[in-house]
Amino acid sequence: MNPDALSTLHLHLLTALAAAPDETRRLFHGRGRCWPGLEQLTVDWMQGVVLVSLFKEPDPAQLEALKQLLMAITQSPEWEKSGAHTLLLQHRYLPQSTTEWLLGETIEELTITEGGLRYRVDLGQKQNSGLFLDMRYGRNWVRDNARGKRVLNLFAYTCGFSVAAIEGGAEHVVNLDMSRAALSRGRDNHRLNGHDLSKVSFLGHDLFKSWGKVINGGPYDLVIIDPPSFQKGSFLLTKDYQRVLRRLPELLSRQGVVLACMNDPAFGSDFLIDGVTREAPSLRFEQRLENPPEFPDTDAESGLKALVFRQHAETIA
C-alpha cells in the first residue's frame, strides 16, 4: 500500500460513499487485482457500518497510513452524506481475524438487507460476518427458480440460499451444515423474513456421514452445492467435491437442477464442468451466473464460479 495506492483507495471510497447504496454491498474489491498495491484489501458497506478487511499484514508504516486515511474519510462530507456511523478494520491475516473499532460504538449483531430480504450478521466476532456478498446473484437466481421445488442446500452456513428459496416459493428446503450455530442463525434469518419454518429443515451433520438422511429426504428438484474451498478436518475441494457430485443422480428428481459453486482462485469453471461430466453424466452444463459488478477481477476464472447444471431425463437409465 504505497502512497499512490492509498490515494486510489481514498478517491474510490469518497466516490462510493457519495452515492452509498440503500442495501449492503461491497464498496471496494481489491482482491480482484484491478488496483495495484490494494490486492489484499476489501471494503464492505453494511448500511451505516463500513468494514475494511486486510488479508495480508502490512508493515507498520503502511498500516498507520491506512488508518489515517480511513479516519480522514470519516471527517468528509461524503461520509456524513452516506449516513455512515461505524468504521471497522478487520485483520483477516491474524488467527482470530481481530477487528479494531476505529469509530462508533461496539455492535455485536446487525440486521442488513439484500434484495429486500433481511439477514443478521456478526461484527467483530468471527472471520466471516454471515453473508458472502459476492453470492448476491446466486441468491437472486435461486429466488427466481425455486417456486414449487423441493430444495437441498448443502454446506448451508447461515442459510442465505434457503431464505431466497422460501421467499421465491419453494415447497420445502433442507439445509445441511456441520455448524449447528450457523444453522441457528439460519433459523433467525428465516424468522426475520416472516417465513413459515415448517417448510424448512435444518440438519447439523457431517454430509459424508449422513448420506442416508439426505437421500431419504429426496428426491430434490434443486440441489445447491456451495462448500468452503478448504475447511480443515471437514472439506478438501480437490477430493471432496467429486464425492458430492457422484451422489447427485441419487438426489435429483428426473428434471432436477444443480447450482454448483466454487470460490477457489486456483480452479476455474472446467474443474466443475469436468467433474460433473465424469461423476454425474446425466447432467448437462447450462450456464454460469455472472458475478456482481462490484466484484471486478482481472481473471474471471479466479473469482466466484456459480454454475447451473440440469438433469436430462433421456440420459437416465
Summarised one tens digit per residue, pLDDT across range 187-242 is: 999 999 999 999 999 999 988 888 989 998 889 999 999 998 755 556 788 889 99
Same fold, 3-104 and 133-315: no
Per-residue model confidence (pLDDT) at position 236: 82
Q: CA dihedral in degrees (169, 174, 180, 182; nearest 10)?
A: -40
Fold of 3-104: Transcription Regulator spoIIAA (3.30.750)
Residue 317's pLDDT band, with cuts at 50, 70 and 90, is very low
Task: Tell me the pLDDT band of 95, cut-offs 50, 70 and 90.
Answer: confident
Q: Cell digits for 277?
A: 461430466
Q: Give the separation between CA 80 and CA 82, rounded to whole angstroms.
A: 5
Q: What are the pLDDT digits (tens) for 37-94? A: 999 999 999 999 999 999 999 999 999 999 999 999 999 999 999 999 999 999 999 9
Q: Please give the Cα distance from 158 to 66 (Å, whole number).
A: 32
Domain 133-315: what homologous superfamily?
A: Vaccinia Virus protein VP39 (3.40.50.150)
pTM for the model: 0.93
Q: With a cut of 60, say whether residue 305 has pLDDT above it.
A: yes
Q: What is the pLDDT of residue 233?
A: 58
Asked whether the predicted pLDDT for residue 35 surpasses 50, the reply is yes
Residue bearing cell 483477516:
92
Mean pLDDT of the chain: 93
Distance CA 111, CA 186 (A): 13
| Domain-wise residue ranges, the chain | 3-104, 133-315
Q: Which long-range contacts (CB under 8 A, 24 or more apart) does 236-243 make?
A: 237/262, 237/264, 237/267, 240/208, 241/271, 241/272, 241/275, 242/275, 242/278, 242/279, 243/208
